Amino acid sequence: MTAIEATPPLLEVEDLRVEFDTYGGTVKAVRGVGFAIEAGRTLAIVGESGCGKSVTVQTLMGLVPMPPGRLTAGRARLRGRDILGPQSADAEEFRGNEIGMIFQDPMVSLNPTMTVGRQIAETLEVHRGWSRHRAFARAIELLDLVRIPNAAQRARQYPFEFSGGMQQRAMIAMAIACEPAVLIADEPTTALDVTIQAQVLDLLAELQRTEGTAIILITHDLGVVARMADEVAVMYAGQIVEHGSVDDIFYRPAHPYTVGLQAAMPSNRSGAEHRLQPIEGSPPDLFSPPVGCAYAARCPHAMRICAERDPPRFYRAAGHFGRCWLNHDAVPDGARILRAAAAGPTVETDR
């Protein structure tokens, strides 16, 4: 046990802060995000559009154009070695090699003027220095691995000849070409039908089982989170407002925003139905984030302190925190409020 604790986590991100300069001012898109992930584990990052989840991982991949973007604080280490900022001389070596990424929209992420096989092979030529011939042969094997039928023939086709599900598999093949230790999947199944989504999720889970890949899965679909994640980070307005195991997040939430996301979805429990409860209002303006809790303006349980002081991390258990004042000892029924809200107003219906 002590030996395990002594080794640094596979990927560790600390206090990441990213800003963008725009004509309207400076947008504080990521405001102090930190997490760690181990080999063979899946961390899901959930949150609404604009919460900073994509900017967080794009920063790790070096995909945020700077300027207008700016990294104002934070570090990220892969096996203890810095991959961000001025300390990291060999950042290009990590990106696409040890950290692979799958994008949301395969149609716009693949190059329409190159055959699918060549695009996959290119990764191997750049990072491994393989010959064109050897890399292309491996690209065919990879397409076969992600279960594209007639891989040898398909490798010579262009992206438009692939269906949406096959394009996403081709993206996965490209991302895993260099056998990355960490695979970042940014909404990998949002554009796909449920049946194809199930195939892609099964494929990712199998790759993880056989290769021990760590997966960072960005999604707003709580069903996908429940299926895939070991751990969940809930992001709101550029911060992680709750982090815990998948069971913590679904059964013992420590933040009203987590509760709100669940109450906004149909539950599918046979015989029991709750009316969908939308989260009223919209996320705060990140040009000038509020002084206190960013969620206070939309929170049904907001107290005076919420508008005045940003809540710290309140740990409910090892590895499970919520940044919400309801978890404070001085709020005697805080835990009860969160628990009651999590259950939702369940009523019988005759539908």
Partner 1 sequence: MSAADPLIVADRLTKHFDLSRGRKVHAVDGVSLTIHEREIVGLVGESGSGKSTFGKALVGLLPKTAGTVSYRGEVLPQTYKVADFRRHATAMQLIFQDPYSSLNPRMTVGEIIGEGLRLHRRLSAGDIREKVASWLRRVGLEPDHMSRYPHEFSGGQRQRIGIARALILEPEFVVCDEPISALDVSVQAQVVNLLEELQASMGLTLLFIAHDLSMVRYVSDRMAVMYLGSLVEIGPAAEVFFNPRHPYTEILIASNPQPDPQIERKRQAIALSGEIPSPVNVGAGCRFAGRCPFTMDVCRSVTPQLLPVPDHPDHFVACHLDR
What are the residues binding partner 1 (CB under 8 A)?
A: 48-49, 163-166, 193-199, 201-202, 220-227, 229, 246-247, 250-251, 260-262, 264-268, 270, 273, 275-280, 282, 351
Task: Indicate the residue among 150 and 282 with the shorter CB distance to partner 1.
Answer: 282
Task: Indicate the residue among 198 and 343 with the shorter CB distance to partner 1.
Answer: 198
Q: What is the DSSP letter of 283?
A: P
If DSSP codes are grouped into helix, strand and coil, which group holds residue 186?
Answer: strand
Asked if omega into 68 is within 30° of 0 (cis), the reply is yes
For residues 60 and 13, the answer to whether their CB atoms sit within 8 Å is yes
Backbone angles phi, psi at 229, to 5 degrees: -85, 145
Q: How far is the CB of 321 from partner 1 (least distance, A)?
A: 19
Task: Indicate the residue among 60 and 261 with the shorter CB distance to partner 1.
Answer: 261
If DSSP codes are grouped into helix, strand and coil, which group holds residue 55?
Answer: helix
Q: How far is the CB of 240 from partner 1 (least distance, A)?
A: 18
Q: How far is the CB of 245 from partner 1 (least distance, A)?
A: 9
3-state helix, strand, coil in the chain (%, to 5): 35, 25, 40
**What is the rounded CA–CA span in Å between residue 261 and residue 222?**
8
**What is the rounded CA–CA span in Å between residue 182 and residue 172?**
13
Q: How far is the CB of 91 from partner 1 (least distance, A)?
A: 32
Task: Indicate the residue among 177 and 299 with the shorter CB distance to partner 1.
Answer: 299
The distance between the two most distant Cα atoms of the chain, rounded to a whole number of Å, is 68
Give the DSSP per-residue string, 308-337. Answer: HS---PEEEETTEEE--GGGSTTSTTHHHH
Task: Indicate the residue among 70 and 220 with the shorter CB distance to partner 1.
Answer: 220
Q: How far is the CB of 330 from partner 1 (least distance, A)?
A: 29
Q: How far is the CB of 263 from partner 1 (least distance, A)?
A: 8
> Residues 201, 54, 265, CA angle at the centre, nearest 5°?
60
CA atoms within 13 A on the CB side of 235: 29
Task: Indicate the residue among 180 and 322 with the shorter CB distance to partner 1.
Answer: 322
CA 304 to chain centre: 32
Task: Indicate the residue among 33 and 204 with the shorter CB distance to partner 1.
Answer: 204
Task: Indicate the residue among 62 and 164 with the shorter CB distance to partner 1.
Answer: 164
Q: How far is the CB of 207 from partner 1 (least distance, A)?
A: 14
Asked if omega into 283 is within 30° of 0 (cis), the reply is no
Measure Cα distances from 209 to 247, 260, 275 in Å.
Answer: 21, 33, 38
Q: How far is the CB of 277 from partner 1 (least distance, A)?
A: 7
